[in-house]
Structure formats: C-alpha cells, structure tokens
Structure 1
Amino acid sequence: MTLLYIFPHPDDECFGPAPAMARQVREGHDVHLLTLTKGGATKQRHRLDLSVEEMGEVRESELAAAADELGVQLTVLDYPDSGLVDMDPRDLENIIERKITAVKPDVVVTYAVHGNSVHPDHLTTHAVVKRAYCQTHDDLAARGPKRLALFTLVQGEMEGAESHLHGSPPEAIGARVTFEPEDMEAAQRAIACYETYAEVVAEHRPLALVEDGVAFVLFNETHETVLDTITDHFESRG
C-alpha cells in the first residue's frame, strides 16, 4: 500500500507522526513525504546567524537525513516558509493534485483542521490538501486515494504540551496507530537529525505526546471502533 504524507515544514513529520511512519515502512508499505517549504524562516536562524535561504538549506539537509532514518521517499518544495497563507491556494492545490496523481497513494495524510498549532502554514496545508484529496478522489475514481487521514493530538492527553498546541476530542479519533519499540527508536533517530532544533526537542519532547499511539481523524469515515491502522478497513466510508 502507498501513503503520501504532506506537511509544510521540515520536522513536521517527526513531531508526532514518525513512529507510525516507521511502522508502515517496516510493514512493507511505500511511504512518501512531500514537504512544501524548506523551513528557513524559523526563529532558530537568528541564534545561528543564518539568512532565511541559508537556514532553509540546513533544514532541508536535516530533513533528508530524517527521511533516510524513517525509510520514506522525500520530495521537498521551496514555497515560502510562513508565507503559504499569502499564496493563491489554487497553486498549492494544483501541485498537490499532480503529486497525488503521480504517486497514486491509497492514503493521504496531513494535519487536522486545527493544524495542531496556530501556525498559518499548518492551517493552509490542511485546507489545500483536503481540497486536492477530494478532487483527485473524484477525478481518479478507483485509481484515486481511498482515505484522508488527519494527524492530530488528543484533548486530555496533552499534559506538558506547549500552550499553543491544539488537539481533537477523543470521540473524533478514527485511528490510533500503535507501534513497536523499534519504530519509536527510528523516530528518535530521525528527530535527532534536526540538530538545529536539539534544544527545542529536549525541552518539549514532542514524541512523548504520541507514546500511546499516533492519532488520526479519518475524513468522511465512520467505524464502530477506533482502528489500529490507517492502511486497512476502507469499506466503511461515510
């Protein structure tokens, strides 16, 4: 089975979804990651005395190393970090539709509607990916994606999380992907590739928020029980 994760920045894949991605690779699935920006506008560049362009090159290199640790196939675009909200959303939708058409994923993954944070790039990415998913799901019919899985944190399970983070109510969770210790170890190796964010990772421990499983809202689906995977049980579409 093929999965396509779509996030706006380097490290988005590691701040939560990585153990699920590692499990999926271990189980033999074809996992792709599309990152829309190089993440150069991060405030960390001031500490390192780097320009946006220089920081973007560093972050892209860290992302490539993280993708190697997870075993996923990586595509990095160079849209403006912290500027996605100012773009014509049709441009983003078109590039995402073309990627979906090329990869032919069974499952598309991005952020939940609240973006897990207040970052405008997260919110914009959710909106454009949802539109692109719906369009390709209709246009490609049987060859199109079967599921849109929305990575989320869970309300009531965010003790110690940063104040700007948001989660979905427990009743909205359609899948919680559990994993083996080796999957978490792969995720930890991947997040360690972000050397410029080492202090942030050490302080906030983002992988601790998914120790009980990586949660997803399943767009337009209903199931009697919470699934343990996002790569199965496609029959119960709402």
Structure 2
Amino acid sequence: MTEADPARPHYPQQGAHRDADAVETLLPEGLAASAATVLFVHAHPDDESASTGATMARLAREGAAVHLLTMSRGEMGEVIGPEHAELDVRTRDPKDPGDALGALRETELSAALNALGVTGHRFAERPKGGAFRDSGMSWAADGTAAPDPRAAPDCLTRAELSQAAAAVAAEIRRLRPEVVVTYDADGGYGHPDHRRTHEAVMAALPLLPDDALPRLVWGEEGEVDAGDTRRQAVIRGDLAAKERAMAAHATQIRVDPGHTFRYSNDVVQPISPVETYRLLAARAGARPAGAESVSAPGPETEAADPDREPAGLISSAITAVAVGLLLGFLGTMLHASVAYFDGWYLPWGAILAVLGVFTGTVWTAGFTRRRGLTLMPGLAAFALIGLFTLGRSDSRLVIPTLEAPIGVAGIIWTLGTVLATAVGVVIADRTVLRGIGRSGRRR
C-alpha cells in the first residue's frame, strides 16, 4: 500500500458478506487446479499478499500455476519503522523518485511470493520499454482514498490507459491463463493505482486474440453491495501463508498477534483467510465451477467464445485426405480447360484447380484445428496427380510439358498444387491456427 496524509482511513472488510449462490473457486467448470494457470494483476508490492494472499497460496498448494503481474514498484510508499525511514515518501527529498524504496520493495515482494508458494512474477513494462511508477495516494476528509498531488509524470495513473492495457495484454498472451484476477472497479479501498489496474485489465481484453482470452476474469470485492448481481466467489485460503507473506513486506505492513495488521497509519485491520471476488468477465460458454449459470457481467466485458473443440484425430485425418483426393480429381478433370485468344491463351482450368487446393488447405486447417493435418489435402492431391501423370502412356490425364498449351496447364496444375499448399499452410498458421497446438488444443 502507498499513501500520504491519512485522515480517518476506511477499508472494506474481507469476507463480510456471502451471497447464497456464491461459488467456492475461481476456476472454470471442468478445470482442475493442477491444470490451471491463474494470473493475478496488482498495483504495488504488498497488495498481492494483503488482498489475495490466502487465495494465491491455496491455488499454489493445489498445484495451479500461479503468476503475478505487478504494475509498479511502490516507489511512493510510506515506511514503517526507523531502519529505512529515509526512504519514506513523507520525509525524503521531494526530488527523489523513490527508486531505492522501489528496489527494497522488490526484495520484500520476492520473500512474500516465496511464502505464498508463487514462482511466476513480472513487473509491468511499457510497450516501448520503461516501467510504470507508483502514483501514490492521499486520504480525503471522508476517509476515502484520493490522488496524490505529488504523483510523477511517469506514474501509472498519468500514463495513457492504452499503455497499461498493452502491458497486461502482453502478459496474458505470454501465459495464456484460464483465469485472471485483479481489483473490482472501486479498487478495493479506492487507491488510484488499484482503479487504474482494474481499468487496464478490462481494456486489455479487447486487445487479445480469441485464443488468448481468459475463461474467467475476477475482481477483488471492495465495499459490499447487496444489490450486486454478479457472481460472487468466496475463497477460504491459507491464512498462515498469507500472514507470512504480509510480514515479508516489513516496510509497509506490521502483522500483530491475533490475526490483525496495520499499515503505516496504524489503523488496525483483521487478517482474514476468506477473500471474496466478483465476476468481471466470462468467455461465452464458460462459468465458474459449481455455478448453475453465469450472472451476466455486462456486454461491455463479456468476451466471445474463441474455439470449439477440435474433431477427433482419425476423423480429421480421413477428412483431410478425402478433401485432397476430391480436389486432386476435380482439378485434374478441370486443369486442361484452356481459353484460346488471338496469339495467346489462358489456362483458366489449371488456375482454378490450384485455387481450389489453396482453399481446401485453409478450410481443412479451420475444420481440424490441427497443424499436422494442414498439409494432408495438398499431399493427397499431389499424389493423385502423380498417378495421373505417371499412368499408362496412352491414357495420361496430366501431361506436363512446354510443347503445348495443355502441357503448360499440366505444369501449372502440378507445381501450383505444391505452391498453393505451402501458401495455404502459412496463411492458416497465421490466422485460423494462431495459438493452436498440434493437438488442436489452445496453447
């Protein structure tokens, strides 16, 4: 947490409300924890531990691949205790950007993640390089979080939203998580960087290719709203690991006996093993495990269904070969069609036949969703052309030669099949197969 000028601070209490239809997992239906990748996106070092530490530790213990993206290094933080008091944003030189505090908080974060059992972590980077600096915050007279007038020009809240969204999108594309977890729109207790992080995650979703969209996106629940109809998840996690992780952030958090803690403003808060979330977005067809239906998060955040399940390997292979044999036969029958003009000719049949092979290659890629089968139509067609070319000398259907227009058509048909297949494979790989592995599953 980073703050300045506290004035009767107010924090929401975790686990204070449970909906009757709340689910008890963040994972989508049908996905075991051991097969899941979950990405948490937080604003500063210490937020992951205080806000979602129990959940992260539980997921890691259950075998999920848990990753954290931290948007800033917490350079605008206050400091607890005398050991590093010179780094406190309240007392250091106003011209000091806080790099030393940021470096110290990196070390604390590493220890905290070790306590949670989380090994995957990165700090967000701008698209053209460089970090987002902590924006800081202040407390308004009513005890709510407000912007810090000392926020630097390169801080998270002053950066273009598109830059922060691009940073989040890049990490999602890299990890391909089934689940993404961040803040709700209110940012928990309202920190400007928390709000901006929520905005960045939601703005990142439209930037993703369909195959990279997470199945579920959750937001850490802030103030309880009895009228909130979005699906709630109530997670009872690992309290001991959460407390150890919070204690690792020694410049920011003091963990007290009795499962309580304080930030630098000395407001006593309970440390809860229960953490609650609201569903922010769901890919079409996806729903949390244990939910009979998905409470609609709203059209502005709902993502499209990216992929259907691929057909079986045997049926896909049979289809690919059948398409190739059909195209090879029809193309051979058509390729000899030549239009003659005054002094020149157009082998239109061969051209159409080659285009048919290209179309069949791309179609097969989209139907089978398997890279290894994309070559099959072209190979089958070429094999059939070979039979027609090397058959009995008195009954050949394909005669590749430069001595006559029909022979030129034969060359176009034979070599064009190879070229059309190669081009079709490349285009399919960059379009319909982007993000798909050889098995047809999303990578």
TM band (smaller chain): 0.7 to 0.9
Question: 1:99, CA displacement in angstroms?
Answer: 0.5
Question: 1:206, CA displacement in angstroms?
Answer: 4.7
> Which residue in the other structure is 1:192 paired with?
247
Distance in 2 of aligned mates of 1:45 and 1:205? 14
Q: Secondary structure of 1:149's partner?
A: strand
Aligned with residue 133 of structure 2, among 77, 80, 85: 80
Q: Secondary structure of 2:251's partner?
A: helix
Residues 205 and 17 from structure 1, CA distance in 2 versus in 1: closer, same or farther, beyond 3 angstroms? farther
1:118 and 2:155 aligned: no
Distance in 1 of aligned mates of 2:215 and 2:267? 34
Q: Counterpart of 2:289 in structure 1: which amino acid? A: D
Aligned with residue 215 of structure 1, among 259, 276, 283: 276
Q: Counterpart of 2:188 in structure 1: which amino acid? A: N
> Which residue in the other structure is 1:3 paired with?
38
Distance in 1 of aligned mates of 2:226 and 2:289? 21
For the 8 Å contact 1:147–1:234, the answer to whether it is kept is: no
Distance in 2 of aligned mates of 1:31 and 1:206? 26
For the 8 Å contact 1:15–1:206, the answer to whether it is kept is: no
Residues 134 and 45 from structure 1, CA distance in 2 versus in 1: closer, same or farther, beyond 3 angstroms? farther
> Which residue in the other structure is 1:225 paired with?
none
1:89 and 2:161 aligned: yes
Distance in 1 of aligned mates of 2:291 and 2:180? 13
Question: 1:235, CA displacement in angstroms?
Answer: 8.0
Question: 1:128, CA displacement in angstroms?
Answer: 1.0
Distance in 2 of aligned mates of 1:81 and 1:41? 6
Write the deviation string for residues 160-210 of structure 1: whole angstroms up to 9, x where unpaired. Answer: xxxxxxx1314535111113xxx11011111110111244834445552x3
Unaligned runs of 5+ in 1: 154-166, 222-229
Q: Whose strand fraction is larger, Structure 1's or Structure 2's?
A: 1
> Which residue in the other structure is 2:70 paired with?
35
Unaligned runs of 5+ in 2: 1-35, 88-95, 125-130, 136-154, 256-260, 297-443
> Which residue in the other structure is 2:172 paired with?
100
Q: Counterpart of 2:233 in structure 1: which amino acid? A: A
Residues 198 and 115 from structure 1, CA distance in 2 versus in 1: closer, same or farther, beyond 3 angstroms? closer
For the 8 Å contact 1:16–1:206, the answer to whether it is kept is: no
For the 8 Å contact 1:146–1:234, the answer to whether it is kept is: no
Distance in 2 of aligned mates of 1:178 and 1:199? 22
Distance in 2 of aligned mates of 1:206 and 1:75? 29
Give the RMSD, CA atoms, in angstroms: 2.4
Question: 1:133, CA displacement in angstroms?
Answer: 2.7
Question: 1:5, CA displacement in angstroms?
Answer: 0.4
Size of the aligned set, in residue pairs, is 209
Write the deviation string for residues 18-51 of structure 1: whole angstroms up to 9, x where unpaired. Answer: 0011111111111000001110111328961125
> Which residue in the other structure is 2:220 paired with?
151
Rg larger in structure: 2
Higher relative contact order, structure no. (Cα contacts within 8 Å, ≥ 6 residues apart) = 1
Q: State the TM-score, normalizing by the size of structure 1.
A: 0.79
Q: Counterpart of 1:140 in structure 2: which amino acid? A: D
Distance in 2 of aligned mates of 1:134 and 1:206? 37
The percentage of counterpart residues that share the same residue type is 29
Q: Secondary structure of 2:66's partner?
A: strand
Distance in 2 of aligned mates of 1:197 and 1:168? 25
Q: Secondary structure of 2:101's partner?
A: helix
Aligned with residue 174 of structure 1, among 218, 232, 237: 232
Q: Counterpart of 2:69 in structure 1: which amino acid? A: L
> Which residue in the other structure is 1:69 paired with?
115
For the 8 Å contact 1:16–1:207, the answer to whether it is kept is: no
> Which residue in the other structure is 1:226 paired with?
none
Distance in 1 of aligned mates of 2:239 and 2:220? 17
Q: State the TM-score, normalizing by the size of structure 2.
A: 0.44
Distance in 1 of aligned mates of 2:121 and 2:179? 16
For the 8 Å contact 1:151–1:216, the answer to whether it is kept is: yes
